[in-house]
């Protein structure tokens, strides 16, 4: 939990900057309160992962950042590409010009999202929360005592973000069903 991991720290730093940029976009494009909360909470987790514990800090759970701020974002990258095919938010006419590419990207995004965010994410979240619980129970661990508020905050945010994956799955299923019906 306390081992610094340079790659994890770098991912957290990049992720925090990305969440700040996404927060700006969310406000400018009026994406709604759910996305504002998502970007604020995700940025807070990234900050805590880098700096939990203040001046004596050094972060926490940086090994988990490789999954949560790295691997899990593969589905996000596919979604960003797919968004270009939206006539309102992307490039008008792109979906008509390349309908197969849109379908392939949509399918790739859906498969990646379900595998990474629905199948793997809860398992890695369980492992992280198990480590948090072990750290909080260890009365002799001074680092855990110093970082207790961050352990609780990040653990709570991770729980909320895990639930959010299933909310998004419902949205993906609804939109996918609507588009499948429209094609028939």
Question: 45-79 pLDDT, tens per residue?
Answer: 999 999 886 655 678 999 999 999 999 999 999 99
Q: What is the pLDDT of residue 179?
A: 81
The reported pLDDT for the residue numbered 142 is: 87
101 close to 90: Cβ distance less than 8 angstroms: no
Q: What is the pLDDT of residue 57?
A: 60
4 pLDDT tier (thresholds 50, 70, 90): confident
Q: Tell me which residue of 50, 42, 10 sits closest to 23, measured CA to CA.
A: 42
Kindly list the distances between the CA atom of residue 152 and the CA atoms of 42, 147, 156, 158, in Å, as whole numbers in the listed order.
15, 9, 6, 10
Q: What pLDDT does 55 receive?
A: 55
Specify the pTM.
0.88
pLDDT one-digit tens code per residue, 108-167: 999 999 999 999 999 999 999 999 999 999 999 888 888 999 999 999 999 999 999 999
């Amino acid at each position: 939990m306390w081992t610094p991991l340079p790659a994890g720290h770098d991912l957290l730093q990049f992720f925090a900057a990305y969440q700040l940029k996404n927060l700006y976009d969310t406000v400018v494009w009026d994406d709604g309160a759910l996305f504002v909360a998502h970007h604020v909470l995700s940025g807070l987790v990234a900050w805590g992962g880098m700096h939990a514990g203040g001046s004596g800090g050094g972060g926490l759970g940086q090994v988990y950042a490789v999954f949560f701020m790295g691997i899990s974002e593969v589905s996000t990258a596919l979604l960003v590409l797919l968004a270009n095919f939206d006539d309102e938010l992307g490039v008008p006419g792109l979906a008509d010009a390349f309908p197969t590419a849109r379908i392939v990207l949509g399918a790739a995004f859906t498969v990646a999202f379900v595998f990474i965010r629905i199948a793997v994410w809860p398992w890695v979240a369980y492992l992280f929360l198990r480590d948090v619980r072990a750290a909080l129970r260890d009365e002799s661990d001074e680092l855990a005592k110093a970082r207790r508020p961050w352990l609780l905050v990040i653990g709570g945010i991770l729980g909320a973000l895990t639930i959010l994956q299933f909310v998004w799955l419902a949205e993906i299923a609804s939109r996918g069903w609507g588009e499948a019906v429209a094609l028939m």
